[in-house]
Structure 1
């Protein structure tokens, strides 16, 4: 299952969710602006990424929106 680390005001996060929904791919969304625990979880998954979305698939880092789009469209 995909996991999207996002914020409520992130346009690329919305695009990622729409892309997954359009392809009937299940996902879980984790808001990193709601708790320090969620933010720290995201930083452990992707310590070098500076922006959201941070997207994983079954615990493995996919990347951001463009990496997700490349993977889904492949």
Structure 2
């Protein structure tokens, strides 16, 4: 039905937006982690925190991409 297609398209857009936001966060964290000053002896704990955040964002991005692909597949199947 038309309503079902609209809902599926909205879900695809929502998933795509989430992926984009997580990609932006990942890039910002990667830039932060690339700063050699972050690895000074007196900032070891801070570096560990940023590495943990980066890992969490990467995991979230992987899940978000999988959800996005599933949403696209559902939409394509519904439009077929």
TM-score normalised over the length of structure 1: 0.30
TM-score normalised over the length of structure 2: 0.29
Q: Which structure has greater helix proportion?
A: 2
